[in-house]
Amino acid sequence: MSVNLVEQDIFTEKEPDTLNPDERKGKLEDENSLGRDVRFYPPLYMQRYSYTANILEKHNVEWVVDFGCSECGIVRFYREVPTLRKVQLVDIDRETLEFHKNCIKPHASDYIFKRKNPLSIEIYEGSAVNLDQRVTGCDAVSMVEFIEHLVPDILVKVEDAVFGRLHPFLVIVTTPNFEFNTLFPGKLRFRHFDHKFEWTRKEFQKWCQDVCDKYRYSVEFSGIGDPPEESQQLGYCSQAAIFTSSSQSKPTVDSDGNCYCLVAQSIFPHRDKELLLSPEEILKLEVTFTINLLKQSYPDKYSDQEQDEEQMEISIKQLMLFSKISKLVNADRLSHHIIHMDYPWDEDVTYRIWGKGQVHWTLK
Amino acid sequence: MSGRGRARARGRARGASEDQARRPGEQTAPPREQPPSSAPAPAPAGGPPAASGRASYRGGAKEPRPGIASASGDVPVDAMSKLTVGTRDVGEKRDRMYYSDPETKPAWLSDKKGTSGTQLPVVTNYFKLEMAPDWHLYQYHVEFNPPIDSRKMRMALLMHHENLLGKTKAFDGMILYLSHRLQEQVTEVYSQRNSDSAQIRITITRTNELPPSSPQVMQVYNIIFRRVLATIDMKQIGRNYFNPSLSVDIPQHKLSVMPGFVTAIAKHEYDTLLCADISHKITRSDTLLDMMYNLYNQNRGDSFYDDCVRMFVGSIVLTRYNNKTYRVDDFDWDKRPDFSFKLRNDVSITLAEYYKKNYNITVTDMNQPLLVSRPKKKDIRMGRTEPIYLLPELCTLTGLTDEARADFNVMKDVGAHTRVPPEGRNRTLQGFIDQINKNEKVQAEMGGWGLKFSRTLLNLNARIAPREKVMQKGGVELSYRQEDADWGRDMRGKQLITPVNLENWVILFIRRNSAQAQDLVQTLSRVGPPMGMNIATPTACELPDDRTDSFLGAMKDHVTPETQLAVIVLPTNRKDRYDAIKKFCCVDHPVPSQCVVQRTLSKKQMLMSVATKIAIQLNCKLGGEVWCLEVPLKNIMVVGIDTYHDSAKKGRSVGGVVCSLNKNLTRYYSRTTFQHTGEELVKGLLTSLRGALQKYHEVNGVLPERIVVFRDGVGDGQLKAVFEYEMPQLLECFKRSGGQDYNPRVAVIVVKKRINTRFFVKSGPSLTNPPPGTIIDDVVTKPIWFDFFLVSQSVRQGTVTPTHYNVIWDTTGLKPDHLQRLAYKMTHLYYNWPGTIRVPAPCQYAHKLAFLVGQSIHKDPHMSLSDRLYFL
């Protein structure tokens, strides 16, 4: 992902709407004062979400759990991941979840541009220390800018819960790269008042390696937010680790029962009816639609010609111009289908339509 | 709180960096926002009235009302609402936000109910909003110290005080509404900010106690109701709410029909009522790009670009990534998705990259042109002046194209879902209110406010006006049933009131159609005499080809000043040819003309009835009359005004003015006016009316004692402009044109066809449409108006839409009953239809005229035609 760095207000558009309202003021203040000369577009938080979503798609993930979802902003990207069928968002802060729970509702446009796969999004209040039985069996876990909010003994418990007990085949973790903070003017400090730590790349990589050793994962490192040209040595603004498990079989998880509390749930519409149609039925609809379309434009087009305007000729060739049809069949099969659809046709592959859709064949 | 998600998901490809100051995250300025936060109403799909309303005279200079002003309209809602709002600065801001209907009921009117006719109990699509008798809404002003900029932050801080405020509240960051009264006038509480543990002082000052019927409370009701709709998972598109999970696909047309509701809570005659009607959103399952490819593949050759513009410019698209609607204003054929624009940080980004980065959407067709949507007025106010570029691939059309609309098959299949008969409508509405009343969350919200809706649709009493006698020559009465309101059958063999003999006329046709033309001439001469029309043999003119020039050339040669009429048989209904012919006949070479498409003559068995209809139409175009009613009023002139707005030619509209000349109200004088956006319709009106009064004097020897103006084409929100600006000028004009002592008694009645009120009649176990002549002047009318509903037309399918008549000025001295009867009578006099129509005939004539001029002629028709119905 390429990123634009500019000499301007930093982070002025960073996570504007997805901040916890209580934290918003504090956070913006902090980060505004952090730097005046680095600026990301799109905002870094969006780049993180988008990065994570892309990795899920690449790994064909169908079921993901996001721990530390906070304002649920990641939904905006997860809902666009075609492979996903289930998204579960977990956070400990009920108030924030309640405030933002409506963002998982499908929009009116989602009913028009439907997804191919069904998708259910659930929001839970709960702690990543515990595992609800409803999250067991997931393919992937994402923890975006989450671990740095945890005190050490909690972090250890979360490691055990996620990597140990839940053990999905894919885990994505992002966290601030402390080295990058030197680019922000003023005193060197953490980016957010609630951060318990911010790691250098070395520290993060050590933690990741320890996790891998302990829970049998392999890890790849990457990051989000390119540093400016002259500061390449500092690394990305956010560092990311992608853990994959080699074990094929899903573990049997000892869950803590129903320890999460469901805050909101929504089901996205998908192309259920369309998928039930056979290719023949789809073709039939396409042909009917296309012929009607051609009829609509017909009087305009041929009105100057000496012919009865009540009838028109359409050639197979003309129908094959429409990609929706030509994608489904070749010309020969189309003619074959058209006979079956009661559109008579003649030797040189044309047919005529009379009046309001009555069809009549002529042999030339 | 449904609007939030949507408000956030903003993001559009803006062209430049001017808009830097306002990015989504920074929209912190709450004072300009809609009141209590939750559901900011986005601009309706049709745009604000100023942009797409049918009359475009809004926004002109506002002069003080001339002389007559003081009579009735001076109870200014503005001033009242200013009083009711707390602090002054807030109040003034608020006033600009709301449109309130002007109070137009004449002061002298004590009872607007009519008397004649028979009683009829009806059911209407309103529900009563019930509350305790002493119910009040309490308004508070909330201040934060230290000041907090973020609206969300303010809300969150206030949320800590649920114990004090309760769960039910409406808060927009500044003004707080509660259903209960806080103990103290000023309450101070403290909240702690998480980030720095700072103590924030919140001062809650009670500024007002609002009674249930105050205009401001109506706004709050509607806000609450929008929340309710969001709770039951209705999605807002434009102005209305829809239930996408119930949408029905029509796969053969790639359409789906989404059922929904249009709702409004307002103060009616006695109570606050919720008006709810079914509405349908038609959406397409293919993208605009698909449609453009289809258009291209229809093999239109060079016309493809023009066709795209014709079909899509002016339509509303919905974007898939942020659920917003835009109006397509233009195409940019030179730009592609790799077009790059500058972000607010001066970095260039291509559109494709923008969508990838912001929405994770991959643009697949890099060869598509771009759609251009110019900023709306609102956007310009916000500082967004650059056009917005959209990708056809990511847009879908809402609604139907004109071509689809003209397609019988499409309309039949769509109509099967959208045309709902009274019984079905009742059932759906009943289900809707049940769903609302039974939903627990809704109960909690409504209960918190102390409000609830009645369980069933409202019942009230209507009247059926007496059936009107329709007569032809010699007082021969036409027999018809009032329920059907159709006397077409009974006209056969009866003489027209004033037949005009056709002695000198021309018929033009191309060689291929000569047989049909001959048939037409023969049949006309057969059907004419029984009606009293003698039709002589015309000058026949056979054209060698069907080029437009051939038609015009032949007409120049054969139409002389003595020619009464030109009949043109057209091979097809091509618009450009029709337009050219009409322009020739109405402007350059004034002669009444009749175009007949060959196809209508091709069915032999239909020819008799077709020729009869044509003959009647010819008679009208020549200045004859067909049927009449008893009009007891003497010396009255009835005026019809309508406007036509051409969506393709933005910014210009045509007004049609039609004035009656005779006692029977069957002969008319007509004029047109042109005005650009921002110009007042009234300028042209004045010349037209002056001409009409002169003509009336010429015909009758006196000026009319009474003038009744039926004004159609007044959009939502334009009533105020009509009432405050147009009407006084109209009155002035009548007086001035008639000389010093002339002081006619005038009524101005605003006619509205597009309304959401419906009425049903119980018929056995089910409901049916009320018969033509049904008048409702109680309960669902408004106390600030002298208004009534009239069902004048008969419909065969679906639910009938009543017409709303709002008498905004009346010095005629006529009783309400008389005005109602007059309106009903006038619906019988449209000569293109042997029955009653939806609006008074002069309005329909005015519409016809404006349509013809706006669509085809684009110029003032010749004055010599102005005393005939040449535009029929």
pLDDT tens digit at each of 364 positions of chain A: 333 332 222 333 333 333 333 333 334 333 333 444 456 777 888 889 999 999 999 999 999 999 999 889 999 899 989 999 999 999 998 888 988 888 898 888 888 888 889 999 999 999 999 999 999 999 999 999 999 999 999 999 999 999 999 999 999 999 999 998 888 877 788 888 889 999 999 999 999 999 999 999 999 999 998 888 888 899 999 999 999 997 766 667 778 889 999 999 999 988 877 777 888 888 888 888 888 887 776 554 444 444 444 556 677 777 888 888 888 888 888 877 777 776 655 544 444 443 334 333 332 2
Q: Looking at A23-32, A340-349, B711-720, B766-775, which range is the least confident one?
A: A23-32
pLDDT attached to residue A33? 35
Phi and psi at A124, nearest 5°, equal -125, 145
Give the CA diameter of chain B: 99
What is the C-alpha separation between B126 and A64, in angstroms, rounded?
47
pLDDT, average across residues B627-651 = 85
Is pLDDT above 80 for B369? yes
Contact call for B23 and A16, based on CB within 8 A: yes
CA distance A309 to chain B (A): 8
What number is the ipTM of this complex? 0.76
- Between residues 457 and 516 of chain B, which touch chain A (CB distance below 8 Å)? 512
Residues of B in contact with A39 (CB under 8 A): 345
Residues of A in contact with B1 (CB under 8 A): 102
Measure Cα distances from B133 to A13, B210, B211, B829 in Å: 50, 13, 10, 48
CA distance A151 to chain B (A): 18
Judge whether B810 counts as a catalytic residue: no
Query: Is the CB of residue B402 less than 8 Å away from at least one CB of chain A?
Result: no
- Between residues 568 and 597 of chain B, which touch chain A (CB distance below 8 Å)? 571-574
Q: Looking at B59-63, B689-693, B725-729, which range is the least confident one?
A: B59-63
CA distance A255 to chain B (A): 32
Instruction: Say which of B642, B778, B810, B817 is annotated catalytic.
Output: B642
DSSP secondary structure code for residue B403 in this structure: H
Judge whether B503 counts as a catalytic residue: no
Residues contacting A210, CB < 8 A, separation 6+? none
Residues of B in contact with A41 (CB under 8 A): 343, 345, 347, 349
Q: Do A111 and B235 touch, CB atoms closer than 8 A? A: yes
What is the C-alpha separation between B399 and B647, in angstroms, rounded?
15
User: Which of A71, A276, A293, A295 should one mutate to test binding to chain B, selecting the residue with the greatest count of B CBs within 10 A?
Assistant: A293
Contact call for A112 and B285, based on CB within 8 A: yes
From A22, A27, A111, residue closest to B244, measured CB to CB? A111
Q: Do B823 and B790 touch, CB atoms closer than 8 A? A: yes
pLDDT, average across residues B99-112 = 83
pLDDT, average across residues B845-859 = 91
Contact call for A113 and B320, based on CB within 8 A: yes
Contact call for A103 and B4, based on CB within 8 A: yes
Higher pLDDT, B66 or A286: A286
The token duo for A55 is 């990795």
pLDDT attached to residue B573? 76
Contact call for A288 and B252, based on CB within 8 A: yes
Q: Do B497 and B472 touch, CB atoms closer than 8 A? A: yes
Residues B527-577: pLDDT tens digits?
A: 999 999 999 999 999 999 888 999 999 999 999 989 999 999 998 877 889
Judge whether B680 counts as a catalytic residue: yes
Q: Do B631 and B664 touch, CB atoms closer than 8 A? A: yes
Measure Cα distances from A337 to A150, A184, A290, A351 in Å: 64, 67, 14, 13
Measure Cα distances from B158 to B167, B188, B197, B200, B696 in Å: 11, 11, 15, 10, 68
Q: Do B691 and B866 touch, CB atoms closer than 8 A? A: yes
Is pLDDT above 90 for B429? yes
B846 by DSSP, 3-state: which?
A: helix
Contact call for A102 and B236, based on CB within 8 A: no
Relative orientation angle of helices B215-231 and B77-84, to the nearest 10 degrees = 70
pLDDT attached to residue A298? 59
**One-letter identity of residue B266:** A
Judge whether B642 counts as a catalytic residue: yes
pLDDT winner (highest mean) among B191-205, B243-257, B822-836: B822-836
Q: Looking at A10-19, B229-238, B319-328, B833-842, which range is the least confident one?
A: A10-19
Give residue B193's pLDDT band: very low, low, confident or very high (50, 70, 90).
confident
pLDDT attached to residue A143? 96
Query: Is the CB of residue B300 less than 8 Å away from at least one CB of chain A?
Result: yes
Query: Is the CB of residue B6 less than 8 Å away from at least one CB of chain A?
Result: yes
pLDDT attached to residue A348? 46
Comparing alpha-carbon positions, the chain A residue that sits nearest to B249 is A273
pLDDT attached to residue B92? 36
pLDDT attached to residue B125? 95
Q: What is the number of other CB atoms lying within 10 angstroms of the CB of residue B164?
A: 13
Q: Looking at A92-101, B375-384, B508-517, B586-595, which range is the least confident one?
A: B375-384
**One-letter identity of residue B774:** T
Is pLDDT above 60 for B96? no
What is the C-alpha separation between B760 and A294, in angstroms, rounded?
41
Contact call for B153 and A4, based on CB within 8 A: no
Residues of B in contact with A324 (CB under 8 A): 290
Closest-CA residue to B159 (of A98, A274, A150): A98
Quote the percentage of chain B above a pLDDT of 70.
87
pLDDT attached to residue B41? 36
Q: What integer best gives the mean pLDDT of chain B?
A: 83
Contact call for A108 and B233, based on CB within 8 A: no
Give the residue ranges of DSSP H helices in B630-783: 681-700, 719-721, 727-737
Q: Looking at B40-54, B167-181, B438-452, B662-676, which range is the least confident one?
A: B40-54
Comparing alpha-carbon positions, the chain B residue that sits nearest to A320 is B297
User: Which of B195, B307, B354, B405 should one mutate to test binding to chain A, selecting the residue with the greatest count of A CBs within 10 A?
Assistant: B195
Measure Cα distances from B516 to B191, B519, B528, B550, B600 in Å: 87, 5, 18, 19, 10
Task: Specify the pTM.
Answer: 0.78
